[in-house]
């Protein structure tokens, strides 16, 4: 089994986008998107990239054209479905549709209503798609890589699940009984710690539209380019202590005593403790950014991350694959995000007793 491949499918509630976004790794869009991400990432390491692109950029230009074609197909599908269901006739004066059809409340239709220009709508749709297409899957790949190397952490996750679902033999989570990340603080801490060590976007670049001043007093003229490395910031010993390179979920938690101390003393009950999450600021933990440009999909990513980790850890045992190179530290491949090179080969066995 390989974790972290693009076969991980994103399930979207938007009926217009579902068929396009439920894609295989071998689809033309997936291959084009992956190649373009890697090729663009290489530009940051090649000061002569413009010259290189002039002579050897045909494949990149073809990949970008395929990505844009896919974006246009999303908009064209939405426009066609609007025409078929006569949604345009159900708009109110505020631009919102009153139709009972589920398509009327979809993201793509709100973009079409609010923007109008189909090229810009296609770019916006691709932005939403690319932001969540690989980052969550890659984060989960690195999380299970770390869990395979820290079996005691796996036991702690299962103990937490056993406390929340006592006596449960099979953990079947759905939208009806899915616990919030706050209900599983240790599992959430595991996911946060994995994101800290392996941020899905390891470096960031922003350009100032206007002159501004940073909180420390640094003045940035208009059009200044600011680059920061989330990977390095998340491993800073100044911020995270001497064990900054270690996988330690407990750094995201603190113990709190449950119940009133006097009441426990009167009843002769010993202290009961539970984990309480520790909130980190965006300056300490810039994975999701902060302020007005904080990640819109953070809550969804956290919910999905906790859901997948809890479900799979409860149902399966994971072990690293054998063979040449296995057992060594896994590396990321060149990209704008942080995919694991060659995926994560591993053995997966069910924890259920097969009769």
Please give the Cα distance from 22 to 10 (Å, whole number).
6
Residue 223 has what pLDDT?
93
φ, ψ for residue 203 (rounded to 5)?
-145, 155
DSSP state, 291? Answer: G
Residue 232 has what pLDDT?
94
Helix axes 58-85, 118-133, angle to 10 degrees: 110
Residues 6+ apart with CB under 8 A from 193: 146, 247, 248, 249, 251, 252
Residue 66 has what pLDDT?
93
Residue 23 has what pLDDT?
53
List b or e across 299-320, with b for residues whose CB sees 16 or more CB atoms inside 10 angstroms.
eebbebbbbbbbebbbeeebeb
In the chain, which ranges are continuous DSSP H helix? 18-21, 28-43, 49-56, 58-85, 107-115, 118-133, 135-148, 151-164, 185-197, 230-234, 237-240, 261-267, 298-315
What are 294-298's contacts with CB under 8 Å, separation 24+? 295/131, 296/131, 297/131, 297/132
Residue 166 has what pLDDT?
80
Nearest to 345 by CA among 326, 328, 332, 324: 326
Residue 86 has what pLDDT?
60
pTM, two decimals, is: 0.76
* DSSP 3-state of 275: strand
Residue 7 has what pLDDT?
36
pLDDT tens digit at each of 355 positions of the chain: 445 443 333 333 444 444 444 555 558 888 888 888 888 888 878 889 889 888 888 999 999 999 999 988 888 888 888 887 764 455 444 444 444 444 344 777 788 888 878 888 888 888 777 777 788 889 999 999 999 999 999 999 999 998 888 876 666 655 566 677 888 999 999 999 999 999 999 988 889 999 999 888 999 999 999 989 999 999 999 999 999 999 999 999 998 877 655 555 555 555 667 888 998 998 899 999 888 888 878 888 899 899 999 999 999 999 987 765 566 788 888 888 899 988 888 899 998 754 4
Please give the Cα distance from 61 to 72 (Å, whole number).
16
Residue 116 has what pLDDT?
77
Strand partners, 329: none
Please give the Cα distance from 94 to 277 (Å, whole number).
42
For the chain, the distance separating the N- and C-terminal CA atoms, rounded to the nearest angstrom, is 24
Residues 6+ apart with CB under 8 A from 12: 18, 21
């Amino acid at each position: 089994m390989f974790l972290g491949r693009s076969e991980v499918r994103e399930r979207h509630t938007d009926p217009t986008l579902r068929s396009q976004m439920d894609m295989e790794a071998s689809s033309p869009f997936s291959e084009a998107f992956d190649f373009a991400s890697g090729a663009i990432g290489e530009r940051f390491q090649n000061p002569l990239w413009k010259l290189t692109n002039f002579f050897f950029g045909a494949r990149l230009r073809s990949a970008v054209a395929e990505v844009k074609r896919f974006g246009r197909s999303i908009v064209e599908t939405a426009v066609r479905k609007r025409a078929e269901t006569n949604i345009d006739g159900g708009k109110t004066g505020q631009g919102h549709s009153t139709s009972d059809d589920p398509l009327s409340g979809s993201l793509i239709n709100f973009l079409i209503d609010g923007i109008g220009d189909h090229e810009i709508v296609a770019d916006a749709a691709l932005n939403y798609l690319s932001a969540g297409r690989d980052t969550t899957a890659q984060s989960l790949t690195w999380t299970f890589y770390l869990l395979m190397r820290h079996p005691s952490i796996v036991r702690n996750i299962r103990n937490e699940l056993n406390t929340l679902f006592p006596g449960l033999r099979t953990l079947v989570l759905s939208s009806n009984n899915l616990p919030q990340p706050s209900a599983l603080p240790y599992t959430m801490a595991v996911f946060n710690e994995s994101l800290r060590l392996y941020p899905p976007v390891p470096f960031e670049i922003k350009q100032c539209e206007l002159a501004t001043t940073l909180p420390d007093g640094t003045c940035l003229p208009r059009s200044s380019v600011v680059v920061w490395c989330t990977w390095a910031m998340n491993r800073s010993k100044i911020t995270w202590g001497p064990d900054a390179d270690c996988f330690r979920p407990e750094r995201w938690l603190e113990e709190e005593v449950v119940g009133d101390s006097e009441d426990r003393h009167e009843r002769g009950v010993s202290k009961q403790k539970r984990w309480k999450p520790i909130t980190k600021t965006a300056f300490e933990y810039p994975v999701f950014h902060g302020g007005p440009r904080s990640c819109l999909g953070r809550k969804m990513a956290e919910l999905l991350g906790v859901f997948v980790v809890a479900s799979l850890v409860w149902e399966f045992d994971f072990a690293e694959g054998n063979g040449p190179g296995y057992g060594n530290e896994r590396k990321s491949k060149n990209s704008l995000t942080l995919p694991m090179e060659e995926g994560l080969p591993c053995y997966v066995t069910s924890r259920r007793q097969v009769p």
